[in-house]
């Protein structure tokens, strides 16, 4: 059997598992009344079933179990395995709880910190950072804990906050996952590659039902799970590459949600609003305000995400980087097909 089989199995089982589970989750959400009802801030016009994260998570677990059954001990050989699995599972359960019964924002934030601490002490750690002038910085434990928790909680919430249009959070997660998997494969990080390809498979299976017009939303169960897993893989994979540009790679790969969340925090703080209070100032809201359709907005943001990911791959010395950059530019052109819309973005809307 080819040594590449874990990658193929991880991707396909998660993809098919999630795809087959979605219709059942849709029926369950309707049965128990867990629908995302439109309001003044939301874009959709009709109630949409949520809990899509349940299918993504179960597809993820099914894929990992399959790989482990085919090769016993595959995951236990990694020191960070328990931290990733425990953290992502706990974050998923927190998201499910919020989907079923809306939880206070501050309570969720405290829970996220505790989950990140749990993952840290189970092996998901930022221990060193690359020095732009050569060598590596070895972090004292208190700094290591602080930086790791900040990264895990921060990235988890960036995916959660950008989940505002059909297919947006899932697509960005897919692009980030593909980019991380390319780096992991090129640097022979087998464990990280299998985990992230499992995540990619789940997002592909989910996107068939989530792209506009969406039949289901992922809910917090999906966005918190995806965000945490992407953050954890960055910690255990990309940040451990011995190169001076490693600190830039995850920032570029997840650049769009990071920037969107940063601007949201600054915007809310400047206006005296609580940073956890939702608003309509996110990137996708602004692009909608310029006249783009939901699909075009999503394609444009996909393009920006892929462009940043392409630059990350270029810095990492990956040969496929230029092809990804070209594809991302084509996506941006496709999204901005209407010249008037592009002109409005440049000059500002009257």
pLDDT in tens, 174-191: 999 999 898 888 888 888
pLDDT of 349 reads: 47
pLDDT of 260 reads: 84
Give domain status of residue 66, yes or no: yes
Asked if the model's pLDDT at residue 107 lies above 50, the reply is yes
Which token pair is 282? 């996110």
Give domain status of residue 268, yes or no: no
Give the largest CA-CA distance in the chain: 62
Q: Which residues contact 249 (CB under 8 A, 6 or more apart)?
A: 183, 238, 239, 241, 312, 315, 316
pLDDT of 98 reads: 93
pLDDT of 321 reads: 81
Could you give the number of structural domains in the chain?
A: 1
Residue range of the domain that includes 17: 5-246
Give domain status of residue 274, yes or no: no
Asked if the model's pLDDT at residue 78 lies above 80, the reply is no
Give domain status of residue 339, yes or no: no
Asked if the model's pLDDT at residue 62 lies above 70, the reply is yes
Give how far the C-alpha of residue 328 lies from the chain's centroid of Cα atoms, to the nearest Å: 18
pLDDT of 208 reads: 92
Helix (H) or strand (E) holding 130: strand 128-130
Give domain status of residue 292, yes or no: no
Per-residue b or e along 1-39, where b marks 16 or more CB atoms closer than 10 Å to that residue's CB? eeeeebbebbbbbbbbbbbebbeebbeebeeeebebeee
pTM metric for this prediction: 0.87
Give domain status of residue 315, yes or no: no
Give domain status of residue 137, yes or no: yes
Give domain status of residue 238, yes or no: yes
What integer is the mean pLDDT of 118-140?
Answer: 78
């Amino acid at each position: 059997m080819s040594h590449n089989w874990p990658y193929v199995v991880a991707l396909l089982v998660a993809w098919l598992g999630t795809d087959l589970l979605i219709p059942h989750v849709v029926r369950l959400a309707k049965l128990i009344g867990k629908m995302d009802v439109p309001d003044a801030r939301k874009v959709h016009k009709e109630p949409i079933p949520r809990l899509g994260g349940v299918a993504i998570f179960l597809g993820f677990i099914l894929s990992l179990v399959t790989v482990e059954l085919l090769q016993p001990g595959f995951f236990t050989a990694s020191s960070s395995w328990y931290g990733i699995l425990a953290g992502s599972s706990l974050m998923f359960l927190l998201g499910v709880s919020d989907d079923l019964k809306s939880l206070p924002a501050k309570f969720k934030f405290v829970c996220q910190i505790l989950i990140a601490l749990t993952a840290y002490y189970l092996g998901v750690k930022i221990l060193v950072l690359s020095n732009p002038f050569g060598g590596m910085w070895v972090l004292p434990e208190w700094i290591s804990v602080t930086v790791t928790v900040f990264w895990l909680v921060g990235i988890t919430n960036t995916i959660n906050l950008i989940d505002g249009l059909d297919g947006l959070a899932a697509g960005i997660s897919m692009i980030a996952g593909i980019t991380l998997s390319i780096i992991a494969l090129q640097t022979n990080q087998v464990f990280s590659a299998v985990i992230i390809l499992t995540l990619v498979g789940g997002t592909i299976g989910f996107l068939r039902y989530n792209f506009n017009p969406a039949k289901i939303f992922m809910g917090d169960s999906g966005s918190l799970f995806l965000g945490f897993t992407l953050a954890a893989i960055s910690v255990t994979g990309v940040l451990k590459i011995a190169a001076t540009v490693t600190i830039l790679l995850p920032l570029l790969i997840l650049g769009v949600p990071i920037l969107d969340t940063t601007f949201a925090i600054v915007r809310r703080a400047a206006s005296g609003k609580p940073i956890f209070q939702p608003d309509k100032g996110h990137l996708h809201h602004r692009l909608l305000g310029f006249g783009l359709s939901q699909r075009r907005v999503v394609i444009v943001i996909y393009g920006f995400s892929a462009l940043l990911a392409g630059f990350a791959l270029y810095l990492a010395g990956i040969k496929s980087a230029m092809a990804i950059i070209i594809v991302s530019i084509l996506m941006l052109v496709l999204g901005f097909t209407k010249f008037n819309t592009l002109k409005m973005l440049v000059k500002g809307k009257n």
